[in-house]
Structure 1
Amino acid sequence: MQLYADYHTHTLYSHGTGSIRANIEVAIEKGLKEIAISDHGPASRSIGRLGVRDSATLLEVKKEVDKYDRLYPEIKVLAGVEANIISIDGKLDVPEFILKELDKVLVGFHLFIKPASFRDGVEIILNNVIVDKLKINQEQIRYRNTEILINVLNNYDIDIITHPGYRVDIDTKTLAKVAVERGVVLEINSSHGYMTEEYIRMAVEEGAKFTLGSDAHSPEKVGAVEAAMLVAQKVGLTAEDIINVC
């Protein structure tokens, strides 16, 4: 299998270190035919801002992407976002009218975010930190995390769930089943190193489709999906199972 597209790359617009143009040129050097610029949504927070300045910035990214798409005819350049879940009822940090202007909508369940309310912060952030550190209420919080993701799938038309299960416990089979029903692809993320063969096999049993994502935060990492590819091959996935390989 050979990678022909990387749909998960970041730039200086959010938590990345390179420009859109730099990401594109590395993608071309590596022989890719498509690349998506999918910077973090505005709710991404840590000590400082990790996401785009505001949702309107994504429209600026779209204009720049369209310019480079014309400038580099050898590759298809797509405007996207890695939106954040900010509420337990499945609200994202990007308005739907802006999502509709983008070519690829990725959604990540992140813990370093500004939640919609105090209660949302407790259930999205605090409860998952408790699970991770103290190992209590695991079944209850796994159910809740899965329910939150399913709410997102039912609320929005999205393309990809990024790194499902990273830092949050989820019911893989249930999520995969709903993702298949909604036509949503699950990412095998090459950066975080948590993905297990067992997880992928459970999703495969439900008929899930996958994408290999670099999650590049610097231009040189664009298209670097070797770790994801290795896991996919161990499980026996083929090009029919993965949307961005041939």
Structure 2
Amino acid sequence: MKILADYHTHTIYSHGKGTIEDNVKVAISKGIEIIGISDHGYGHLTYGIKRDDILKMREEIDLLNDKYKNKINILLGVECNILDDKGNIDFDEKLGKHFDYVMAGYHFGSKPTSPKGLINHADNYILKSKKSKDYNTQAVINAMKNNNIFVITHPGDKGEIYIEDVAKTAKLTDTRLEINSSHKFLNSTQLRKIENIRNTFIVGSDAHIPKNVGNFDLAINTIKEANIDLSLIENIKF
């Protein structure tokens, strides 16, 4: 297996344990062609990136691209938080020009935009009701419809969704769905449900420590269990 890209890695700018260069060095050692730095969006209450750090990260990555020219391509991404069922994400158009791509996912610590959103956080965490599943599904669908999102990260993690509905919108909006190698989402059950939709997938390490950059073991096992068409996975080559 050849890893073409790992778009989902975290650093000390959010709640990762290594620097950008630490992640880059591990990626180079594993023969990865593209490494994406995608720290959590600033709408996360505890470990989102600071707005003032975004330009600093951009400048750091530009310098590292010069330093490691011909060895690897380093991209600046962001893992935005899906904030509500209207599909709002913590993405500012002014700051957005500094990013190479945008990922988005649901996280418990994201700042709710209304009391309804706060109630949904609690429902996802405690009750896991059908009402929250409806809300979560609409949130992901509208996020894809209303924003230019490259990847939906770990769909269904922390908040259940109707994966078929999400997959259909992902197909229409040319949004990739992530098979996450740190969380069990997408899982093999989800993948079997949507196999006829023929979505495009990426595998993400979701590395929070440098040594896990490019660690796709859990995701590869999921892919084998689901027996999905390997040509649909964009960032690995078998």
| TM-score relative to the length of structure 1 | 0.91
SS class of match (1:204):
coil
Q: How big is the shift at 1:162? A: 0.4
SS class of match (2:40):
coil
Q: Which amino acid aligns with 1:118?
A: P
2 CA distance for matches of 1:146 and 1:219? 32
Matched, 1:201 2:192: yes
Relative distance call for 1:100 and 1:240 in structure 2 (3 A) is farther
Matched, 1:13 2:10: no
Correspondence for 1:61 among 57, 61, 71:
57
Please name the residue that 1:146 is paired with.
137
Please name the residue that 1:168 is paired with.
159
CA contact (8 A) 2:157 2:184 kept: no
Please name the residue that 2:174 is paired with.
183
Q: Could you report, residue by residue, the CA deviation over 1:29-82 in whole angstroms, capped at 9, with x for unpaired residues?
A: 01100000000011223xxx311122x422321221111112112101000000
SS class of match (2:194):
helix
CA contact (8 A) 1:188 1:212 kept: yes
Specify every segment of 5 or more residues in structure 2 that has no aligned partner in the other structure, as ranges: none
CA contact (8 A) 2:191 2:228 kept: no
Correspondence for 2:74 among 73, 77, 85:
77
Q: How big is the shift at 1:140? A: 2.6
Q: Could you report, residue by residue, the CA deviation over 1:195-219 in whole angstroms, capped at 9, with x for unpaired residues?
A: 4211012232212111111000010
CA contact (8 A) 2:155 2:185 kept: no
2 CA distance for matches of 1:145 and 1:34? 31
Please name the residue that 1:135 is paired with.
none
SS class of match (1:89):
coil
2 CA distance for matches of 1:217 and 1:108? 16
Please name the residue that 2:26 is paired with.
26
Please name the residue that 1:115 is paired with.
112
Q: How big is the shift at 1:18? A: 0.3
2 CA distance for matches of 1:193 and 1:184? 20
Q: How does 1:80-159 map to 2 (within 5 A)?
A: 80-123=77-120, 125-132=121-128, 138-159=129-150
Q: Which amino acid aligns with 1:128?
A: N
Post-superposition, which runs of at least 4 consecutive aligned residues in structure 1 deviate over 4 A? none
| TM-score relative to the length of structure 2 | 0.93
Q: Name the % identity.
A: 36
2 CA distance for matches of 1:194 and 1:181? 21
Q: Which amino acid aligns with 1:30?
A: K
How many residue pairs are counted as aligned between the two chains? 236
Specify every segment of 5 or more residues in structure 1 that has no aligned partner in the other structure, as ranges: 133-137
1 CA distance for matches of 2:55 and 2:91? 11
SS class of match (1:81):
strand
Q: Which amino acid aligns with 2:76?
A: A
Q: Which amino acid aligns with 1:13?
A: Y
